[in-house]
Chain A
Amino acid sequence: MRPWLLGPVQAAVALLLAPGLVGAIRWMKARLQSRAGSPPWQPYLELRKLFAKEVVVSSNASWLFRAAPFIVFGSTVTVTLLVPLLAVPLPFGGAGDLLVVVYLLLLGTFFLALAGLDPGSPFGGMGASREMTVAALAEPTMALAIFALAWGAGSTNLGQIALRTLSMPSEALAPGHVLAFAAIFLVTLAETGRLPVDNPSTHLELTMIHEAMILEYSGRYLALIEWAAALKLLVFFSLLGNLFAPWGVASVITPGALLWAAGTLALKLLALGGVIALVETHIAKLRLFRVPELLSASFILALLAVTASFLLR
């Protein structure tokens, strides 16, 4: 197989797995709520339906409203070309490191927030304001957790970080590593709109963050945004799974190794999805103005992670 094909293959695998991940989390949550629930493949059906539906666009909206879904989707898919989902090192690994990944995702958030403001709906403005607040406060945690990882590996290069843990398995349980994992896990909850920061299944406009920005979207635009949101969840999960426990990731590019990598990735995603389902069953949503406390806790964790990784080197 030609190495450059690895990027598109990763993107395709991620695009295929992402809705299933969301569906699986929903299914597990339903089971924990004593419900039968919709089958795990439900999000695929929803996407298919949305792509077939009519699009209604507000008369106040500009071209930005119609361009934003593509930018949100595009930036998230670009990230899947850079993150080691299946293999290390990647052909485009030198084009972007962990910081590029984080800021590409922020680019998507930026445009989604603008799209929320565009139709002039009060809900959209509210969602945009809250989403940017949460994103801004999550940024320092993410950066410090990245540097905790980078300090150990000597580089912010994603492949480098994964390879180092592969070569020194004991590092996976080093305090800096574990603390950074916890910090990024909390950031994942905030960035992907999960409880206790945002309730992904709420119907109440006033409690929404992410959903409030996309209330105006319909049809194929909504499908793109939903797909991108699922993909973002997958990206964060695979960062957690493949940077901190990179076992299963292919280091030689053969179809067998890639299949094995896809299988282990799916297992890791399911495991993390199970944790999210349990967390979401156990805890209630935080008030918006309590969210900063959660994020400062995650910042402290990240700070400890960096400190631990250079004190205990």
Chain B
Amino acid sequence: MGLLSKILRTGIVTEPLPAGNSEVVHLIRDIDEESRRLFGRALGIREVDAGSCNGCEVEITGLMSPVYDSERFGFHFVATPRHADLLLVTGPVTRNMEVPLRKTYDATPAPKLVVAVGDCARSCGVFAGSYAVVGSVDRVIPVDVFVDGCPPEPEHILQGILTALRSGRA
């Protein structure tokens, strides 16, 4: 009962889409429409950590939190690329993760999108030139959109997903 009363006290903490004119609001409305058009508003996301410092993962976790609650747009994280429509790749691609990343891409059924999250995914960040690093994500698999930031905020990741959906390569 303690838990129930706490639930009642807390209420819904997901940030509503305010009526204001902020960038984020538009963005989120757009995502809603685009994901509806492309994937019937049901998008399975598979996260692949290709060698990240886990900073980006912390932000991605934020997407699933009650505050951002990406589930309200029909996004959900899945346990296998077979169920996925979009791969969210973080980090510079290390030598050990090169083959797994490629296999993940192959295992995903079409139509599929790839969003590379974080500076490392585009330019390898501080890891550039390391013997352990193969290079940016697009050297291994085709990338639809890069999301910059070290780490990028959850809004920006959402924006990246939106841009990927818009690119309509799927």
Which residues of A are at the interface with B, using a C-beta cutoff of 8 A? 30-39, 42, 45-46, 48-49, 52-56, 202-205, 208, 211, 215-219, 222, 278, 281-282
Q: Is the CB of A38 within 8 A of B71?
A: yes
Q: Which chain B residues border A46 with CB–CB below 8 Å? A: 40, 42, 74
**CB nearest to A208 among chain B residues:** B79
Nearest 8 A-B pairs (CB), nearest first? A36-B14, A54-B109, A46-B42, A218-B82, A49-B40, A54-B110, A45-B42, A215-B80
From known contacts A35-B71, A38-B71, A45-B40, infer whether A53 and B111 are also in contact, taking CB-CB under 8 Å. Answer: yes
Complex: how many Å from CA A38 to CA B66? 12
Complex Cα spacing A252 to B72, Å:
42
Known: A45-B42, A49-B39, A55-B109. A34 touches B66 (CB 8 A): yes
Interface locus among B3-11, B114-122, B144-152, B159-167: B3-11
A222-B7 contact in complex given A37-B72, A53-B111, C-beta closer than 8 Å:
no
Give me the interface of B with A, judged by CB distance under 8 Å: 3-4, 7, 10-14, 16, 39-42, 66, 69, 71-74, 76-80, 82-83, 85, 107-111
Contacts of B82 in A (CB 8 A): 56, 215-218, 222
Q: Which of A37, A216, A282 contacts B71 (CB 8 A)?
A: A37
Instruction: Tell me how many residue pairs across A and B have CB atoms closer than 8 Å.
Output: 90
Contact A45–B41 (Cβ < 8 Å) = yes
Q: Chain B contacts of A33 at CB under 8 A?
A: 7, 66
Whether the Cβ atoms of A36 and B109 lie closer than 8 Å is: no
Residues in A whose Cβ lies below 8 Å from that of B83: 215, 217-218, 222
Judge whether A31 and B72 touch: CB under 8 Å.
no
Residues of B within 8 A of A42 (CB): 41-42, 74
Q: Is the CB of B109 within 8 A of A56?
A: yes
A280 to chain B, nearest CB (A): 12
**Chain A residues within an 8 Å CB radius of B108:** 56
A-B contacts besides A31-B12, A42-B41, A217-B83, 15 pairs, CB < 8 Å: A30-B71, A34-B12, A35-B14, A35-B71, A36-B12, A36-B16, A46-B42, A49-B85, A53-B110, A54-B110, A56-B82, A204-B79, A216-B80, A217-B82, A282-B3
